């Protein structure tokens, strides 16, 4: 899911990273690419239009950030807007003050309601609840048995009409189930309802009757993420016919384009609570808009890195360092300060791991070791302020003193000093070439 969309979005945003400064034309061109990517992923047109308009407005009006370059800023905006259309904050399940909490499932046949009932039951059980499933899908042959099977697998009780009585009345079953749940002290009741292959009036009426009978605390609209644009029309029909308080996306493991996920929340105004991504009962979890957005953007945790860079950035210090860098005046004191600033962002291996493409560099990353940096820090701290300011004065006897003081060998002190000189020379040359 989302692979094509991720590839296209990443490509659109990556062209920006090669530019130092962004013009309005650059932003327009990127917005166009993003628009095509979203439309191809089957996101509803109205949603695409609003999204693109917001990106353009915010990117063009963006304040110059000292911590982020323009490309990073646009990535940040796109990410924030993605989180926004996916619902913003993670929405948790509403539990009733007076149990049992009643959760009703609605949606088309094949959307994954029955499977979801089992997943939800297992999930609730793991959280310490005592759920009960209720079979109100009396239409589809085998639906009751199927629910009993998933209930058994989840290790929860299923309330079902006795077999052999012909097609029962789902409203009556629902009512009796709630009474039974109270009696047997189940604190959450999950009501599975019938679906049709398409939306029809009879289906809506039955779902509405069950709703009136059980007064659900949550009505969850279950939608197959693979049905693309149809998800939006179906969602609207259920919103108007039964009403729902939340959405569950199923089959996110499929290879479809994923537009449903991006459209449903925006079109219906109701949050996505859960996502299902497989046939097993464990393939299910709370839906987190922020995590989903970064998955769609396909940029590893580069977004976390952007956030941390903003937090760790110290304007004065950076300007001073840049000035010294270009004039070849960088001292070991500056070097230490820079190192501490970077390390404020977390263990260095983690930081590098967050960069896109880091997946293939795992072996090298494993060698970047915080202990090594600790050692460098200790060596620099073992120097006098004068030595840090003017590393040229660090002669043989000083090196021996520093080594003894910081518990390392003279060779390690030599290494650090020599590499510092080389780096300073290289940076001064680069600074000259790139004009900063
Ligand atoms: P219902 O008619 O809405 O009750 O749908 P079912 O629960 O019977 O599911 C229909 C089919 O979709 C079944 O074959 C399920 O195994 C499958 N299914 C449900 N959820 C998922 C999911 O998240 N991923 C995948 N790949 N299949 C799913």
Band (304; pLDDT cuts 50, 70, 90) = low
State if residue 109 touches ligand 1 by the CB under 6 angstroms criterion: yes
Percent of the chain at pLDDT exceeding 90: 46
What is the rounded distance in angstroms from the CA atom of residue 204 to the CA atom of residue 238?
A: 7
Residue 295: is its pLDDT beyond 60? yes
Determine the residue of 279, 283, 284, 285 to mutate for testing ligand 1's pocket, defined as the one with the most ligand atoms within 8 A of the Cβ atom. Answer: 279
What is the rounded distance in angstroms from the CA atom of residue 313 to the CA atom of residue 354?
A: 18
Three-state SS string across the chain, please? Answer: CCHHHHHHHHHHHHHHHCCCCCCHHHHHHHHHHHHHHHHHCCCCHHHHHHHHHHHHHHHHCCCCCCCCCHHHHHHHHHHHHHHHHCCCCCCCCCCCCCCCEEEEEECCCCCCHHHHHHHHHHHHHHCCCCEEEEEECCCCCCHHHHHHHHHHHHCCEEECCCCCCCCCCHHHHHHHHHHHHHHCCCCEEEEEECCCCCCCHHHHHHHHHHHHHHCCCEEEEEEEHHHCCHHHHHHHHHHHHCCCCEEEEECCCCCCCCHHHHHHHHHHCCCEEEEECCCCCCCEEECCHHHHHHHHHCCCCHHHHHHHHHHHCCHHHHHHHHHHHHCCCCCHHHHHHHHHHHHCCCCHHHHHHCCCCHHHHHHHHHHCCHHHHHHHHHHHHCCCHHHHHCHHHCCHHHHHHHHHHHCCCHHHHHHHHHHHHHHHHHHHHHHHHHCC
- 113 Cα: distance to centroid of ligand 1 (angstroms): 7
Residue 265: is its pLDDT beyond 80? yes
Average pLDDT, the chain: 84
Look at the chain and count its residues. 436
Nearest to 168 by CA among 143, 132, 196: 143
Residue 342: is its pLDDT beyond 80? no
State if residue 279 touches ligand 1 by the CB under 6 angstroms criterion: yes
What is the rounded distance in angstroms from the CA atom of residue 299 to the CA atom of residue 411?
A: 40
Whether residue 90 is annotated as binding a ligand: the answer is: no
Whether residue 295 is annotated as binding a ligand: the answer is: no
Q: β-strands 272-276, 218-224: how paired?
A: unpaired
What is the rounded distance in angstroms from the CA atom of residue 160 to the CA atom of residue 162?
A: 6
Per-residue pLDDT, 166: 53
Band (42; pLDDT cuts 50, 70, 90) = confident
Tens of pLDDT, residue by residue over 64-121, are 676 777 778 888 899 999 999 999 999 999 999 999 999 999 999 899 999 999 999 9
Tokens 């094509």 locate to 4
Residue 325: is its pLDDT beyond 70? no
CA distances from 279 to 96, 180, 250, 253 (A): 29, 30, 10, 9
Quote ipTM for the complex.
0.98
Average pLDDT over residues 410-414: 93
State if residue 139 touches ligand 1 by the CB under 6 angstroms criterion: no
Q: Whose CA is nearest to atom 26 of ligand 1?
A: 278
Q: Whose CA is nearest to atom 12 of ligand 1?
A: 112
Q: What domains are there in the chain, each with its CATH number? A: 3-89 (1.20.120.140), 101-287 (3.40.50.300), 314-434 (1.10.260.30)
What is the rounded distance in angstroms from the CA atom of residue 15 to the CA atom of residue 26?
A: 9
- 413 Cα: distance to centroid of ligand 1 (angstroms): 63
């Amino acid at each position: 899911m989302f692979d094509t969309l991720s590839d296209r979005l990443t490509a659109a945003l990556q062209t920006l990273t090669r530019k130092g400064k962004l013009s309005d034309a650059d932003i327009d061109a990127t917005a166009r690419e993003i628009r095509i990517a979203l439309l191809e992923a089957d996101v509803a047109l109205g949603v695409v239009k609003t999204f693109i308009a917001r990106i353009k407005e915010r990117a063009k009006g963006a304040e110059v950030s000292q911590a982020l370059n323009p490309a990073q800023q646009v990535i940040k905006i796109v990410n924030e807007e993605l989180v926004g259309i996916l619902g913003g904050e993670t929405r948790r399940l509403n539990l009733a003050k007076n149990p049992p909490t009643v959760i009703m499932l609605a949606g088309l046949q094949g959307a994954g309601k029955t499977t979801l009932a089992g997943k939800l039951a297992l999930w609730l059980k793991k959280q310490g609840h005592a759920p009960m499933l209720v079979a109100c899908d009396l239409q589809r042959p085998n639906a009751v048995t199927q629910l009993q099977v998933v209930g058994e697998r989840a290790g929860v009780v299923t309330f079902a009409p006795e077999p052999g009585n012909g097609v029962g009345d789902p409203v009556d079953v629902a009512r009796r189930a709630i009474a039974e749940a109270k009696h047997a002290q189940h604190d959450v009741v999950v009501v599975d309802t019938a679906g049709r292959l398409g939306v029809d009036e009879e289906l809506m009426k039955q779902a509405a009757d069950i709703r009136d009978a059980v007064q659900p605390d949550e009505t969850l609209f279950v939608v197959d993420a693979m049905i693309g644009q149809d998800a939006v029309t179906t969602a609207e029909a259920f919103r108007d016919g039964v009403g729902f308080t939340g959405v569950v996306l199923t089959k996110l493991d499929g290879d479809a384009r994923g537009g449903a996920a991006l459209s449903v929340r925006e079109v219906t105004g109701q949050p996505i609570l859960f996502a299902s991504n497989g046939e097993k009962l464990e393939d299910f979890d709370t839906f987190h808009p922020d995590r989903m957005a970064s998955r769609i953007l396909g940029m590893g945790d580069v977004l976390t890195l952007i956030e941390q860079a903003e937090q760790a950035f110290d304007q004065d210090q950076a300007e001073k360092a840049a000035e010294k860098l270009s004039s070849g005046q960088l001292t070991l004191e500056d070097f230490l300060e820079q190192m501490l600033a970077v390390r404020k962002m977390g263990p260095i291996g983690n930081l590098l791991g967050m960069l896109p493409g880091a997946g293939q560099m795992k072996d090298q990353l494993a060698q970047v070791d915080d202990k090594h940096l600790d050692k460098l820090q200790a060596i620099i701290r073992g120097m006098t302020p004068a030595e840090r300011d003017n590393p040229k004065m660090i002669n043989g006897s000083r090196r021996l003193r520093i080594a003894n003081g910081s518990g390392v060998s003279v060779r390690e002190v030599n290494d650090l000093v020599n590499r510092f000189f080389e780096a300073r020379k290289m940076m001064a040359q680069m600074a000259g070439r790139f004009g900063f």
